[in-house]
Amino acid sequence: MKNYLTSLCVFLCLSVLLSCNRNNAGQETEKKIYAWNEFSMGVDLSYVNQVQEYGGIYKENNTEKDPFLILKEKGANTVRVRLWHTPTWTAGLNNGKMYCDLYDAEKTIRRAKQLGMAVSLDFHYSDRWADPAHQDTPAAWSGLVLSVLKDSLYNYTLSVLNYLKSKDLVPEMVQIGNETNNGMCWPVGKAENNNFENFAELLNSGIKAVRDFSQTSAIKPKIILHEAQLQTANWWMQHLYTRNVTDFDIIGLSHYAKWSDVKTMQGVTDSLKALKTRFGKPVMIVETAYPWTGANADTYNNIFSAADTAQGYGISLDEHLRYMKDLVQAVINAGGIGVQYWEPAWITSSLNDGWGIGSAWENNAFFDFHGNVLPITGYMTFKYKF
């Protein structure tokens, strides 16, 4: 009897172990690696060069590792790269070295391409941050009339792409402007009081440069136009369409719950689906983020606080992951083709961005305050319903 019971115990233990292994194997098969042109799992890594040069260290399981490689292995297939025209102000903060200029962007693009990731190049057409409240014309173009400004924008766009082509670094996607709700290259291209004419002409100059470049390039970049709010995107696109801005490939949107009037995931789906249906263009979230904590790793105040949660979501590592999985599914439900997370690697360091030293974003990052990669990255390999 004793031998029988012993054999039975061994059998049951083996059965449990085999069952666990089957379950684990099943969980592994639930993961999926997406191609960038199937669904863009994007990460904006524009700050990484600077963070690393100012002491930031990225890790996996407490072992230092290249952040591009970490995120590639976690499912990222696209790297978004910010490009400023001549950001001399950054040199004043960094012992004469500029960041987010063409040569810094080149370094970022090379790091992405070496790992087989696609690139989305974000032309700000400014020497500094471009967003709905700031669209300063590059100093090199200051005072130009519209006709000359259009030529300058065209030639600059074309020259950047040709330079990258000479380095075998052509981006798969190109943004003509960043969060251009109110136009670009102010004051000439400012869109106000429903006056979009100059802005539309500038956009078409940038678009033409990319199309002309594509005639001699094996990689033909997809063109993205970028608006910052779901709630105003329909109005914005209609203004552009009525002014013959139609030769582009993707409608790109920012979506941050903190600043959006679209409060639910169903609202995200409905807004994106309406845009896709009305204008016949693929839609993509090209900027988003969500906090996993309200704490700080440094003395630089964070942009997102513990109170900046989305409707129906809390603030924790689990909620960080849940929010992003739900957002990706909401975009897919609308027929969207990608979600790109803004600066998930902006961890604390001695980096000085002009407003503070460290990071104002580390509580939205994919890395904890010790530099270790977080569970949030699991959303990039989750098996979604298409």
Q: Give tens-digit pLDDT for 1-10.
A: 444 444 434 4
pLDDT value for 51: 99
pLDDT value for 30: 81
Bridge partners, residue 51, by sequence: none
- Average of per-residue pLDDT values in the chain: 94
Tokens found for residue 296: 């700080």
Residue 37 has pLDDT above 50, yes or no: yes
In contact, 257 and 290? CB cutoff 8 Å: yes
Give the separation between CA 126 and CA 210, rounded to whole angstroms. Answer: 18
**pLDDT-derived band of residue 206, with 50, 70 and 90 as boundaries?**
very high
Residue 24 has pLDDT above 50, yes or no: no
Catalytic residue (choose from 172, 179, 319, 362)? 179
CATH no., domain 40-381: 3.20.20.80
Which residue ranges make up each domain of the chain?
A: 40-381
Q: Give tens-digit pLDDT for 311-333.
A: 999 999 999 999 999 999 999 99
pTM of the prediction?
0.92
In contact, 139 and 84? CB cutoff 8 Å: no
**pLDDT-derived band of residue 291, with 50, 70 and 90 as boundaries?**
very high
Catalytic residue (choose from 60, 172, 201, 287)? 287
Q: Is 30 known to be catalytic?
A: no
Average pLDDT over residues 160-173: 99
Q: Give tens-digit pLDDT for 81-122.
A: 999 999 999 999 999 999 999 999 999 999 999 999 999 999
What does each C-alpha distance from 222 to 51, 186, 213 come to in angstroms?
29, 25, 12
Q: Which residue has the tokens 């690393």?
A: 52
Give the separation between CA 121 and CA 206, rounded to whole angstroms. Answer: 13
Q: Give tens-digit pLDDT for 52-86.
A: 999 999 999 999 999 999 999 999 999 999 999 99
Give the separation between CA 366 and CA 200, rounded to whole angstroms. Answer: 37
Q: Is 201 known to be catalytic?
A: no
In contact, 348 and 45? CB cutoff 8 Å: no
Q: Which residue has the tokens 């960041």?
A: 99
Of 345, 349, 350, 352, nearest to 374 (Cα)? 345
